[in-house]
Amino acid sequence: MRLAVRVRRAEGDLERLIGLVRRRGWHVVALEARTTRDGSTMTVHATLEGDRSPEVLVRQVQRLIDVEMVHVEEGEAQVARLAAVREV
């Protein structure tokens, strides 16, 4: 799964994100982080491996105070499929 996250810059921001990903059972395979020119935000692209629900991870990342936006770049089909399961 490839995750794109936009983070408001604050002390510990990247560590909070990566720490959460590890604690929630995911493994970082590749990581790219870039601060925007004005220094206010950072964009993170992370390729992750794991067998847990990407949808749940996205919600857990969203919960971080610094995170402005998160979406799944690859593996959306899996997320959409999970979201549709058994909704009545």
Partner 1 sequence: MNGAGALVRALEAEGVDIVFGYPGGAILPVYDALVDSKLRHILVRHEQGAAFAANGWARATGQVGVCMATSGPGATNLVTGIADACADSVPMVIITGQVPTSLMGTDAFQELDVLGMTMPMVKHGFVVRRATEMADVVHEAFRIARTGRPGPVLIDIPKDVANSPAGDRMQSSVRLASAPEGPSPPDSEAIARGVRALERARRPLLYIGGGVRRAQAIPEIRALVETTRLPFVSTLMGLGTVPTDHPLSLGMLGMHGTKGANYAVQESDLLLCACARFDDRATGKLADFAPHAEVIHIDIDAAEVSKLRRANVSLIGDARVALRELARPLDHIDPWRAQCLEWKRQYVLDPSPRNEKVHAPTLLRRLSDRAPRDATFACDVGQHQMWVAQHVRFESPDRHLTSGGLGAMGFGVPAAIGACFARPGSLVIAVTGDGSIMMNLQELSTIVRYSLPVRIVLIDNRALGLVRQWQELFHEERYSEIDLSDNPDFVRVAEAFGIPAFRVDRADQVERAVERIVDGPAPLLCHVVVDPTTNVWPIVKPGAANSSMLDHDHKTPRPAAGGTR
- Among the listed ranges 28-36, 37-45, 48-56, 69-77, the one in contact with partner 1 (CB under 8 A) is 48-56
Task: Please check whether residue 48 is in contact with residue 78, taking contact to mean a CB–CB distance below 8 angstroms.
Answer: no
Q: Does 40 bind partner 1 (CB under 8 A)?
A: no
Quick note: the x/- pattern for partner 1 over 49-78, rule CB under 8 A, is ----x-xx--xx-xxxx-------------
Nearest CA among 32, 35, 66, 65 for reference residue 48: 32
Taking the complex as a whole, the smallest distance from the CB of residue 58 to partner 1 amounts, in Å, to 9
- Residue 84, φ and ψ in degrees, nearest 5: -85, -15
Taking the complex as a whole, the smallest distance from the CB of residue 28 to partner 1 amounts, in Å, to 16
Nearest CA among 3, 10, 2, 4 for reference residue 65: 10
